[in-house]
Amino acid sequence: MHTATSGTYGKDSISRSRFIVSGNVQKVRYRDYIADNARKLSLKGQVQNMPDGTVEIITEGHPENLMKFEEFMKKDKERKKASSDGCLATDIDYKKLDEEATGKFPMFNIVYSNSVQEELNENFGAALEVQMQTNTAIQGLTTQTCSKFDTMDAKYGIISENIKNLTTQLSKIAEALKPSK
């Protein structure tokens, strides 16, 4: 992987990569997902929604960590979706551009829009989607559980009925065997 190098964080050289990500990547918590993963690799930079529906990611850091981040991006591209339950991004594709590092980022940030309404809609929309997926999963579990109980009732209901019949017969035999007074 060729990565442009310029600048330092401390004594080590840094590199910079820019990713333009397309697909269903806005209003699905994708920026949070990217920021979490970039921070785990000690990368600095930013992620932001773009007006054309893409997401721009700028990463700066040690070349080895940038390679790990690109591997993470490749895995999501191959799967065509984010590898997190909290992020609902799908149809992920990206272009990577190597650039000169600036060292201007003190940390990895999410760039939010100026519209509070837009940001709230993104998080509420993602939360609603997760809730709908959870409801679907619960409905599936409920159906499976009811089916299992029906199977158990069919199997063990017959056994219960047989035990009742045996108990009744044994009670009659016990009565018949009692000595008379």
The residues assigned a catalytic role are 31, 49
Under DSSP, the state recorded for 107 is S
Spatial distance between the Cα atoms of 62 and 15, rounded to a whole number of angstroms: 6
Spatial distance between the Cα atoms of 157 and 163, rounded to a whole number of angstroms: 10
Q: Concatenated DSSP letters for 59-99?
A: EEE-HHHHHHHHHHHHHHHHHTB-S-TT---EEEEEEEEEE
Q: How many CB atoms lie within 10 A of CB 76?
A: 25
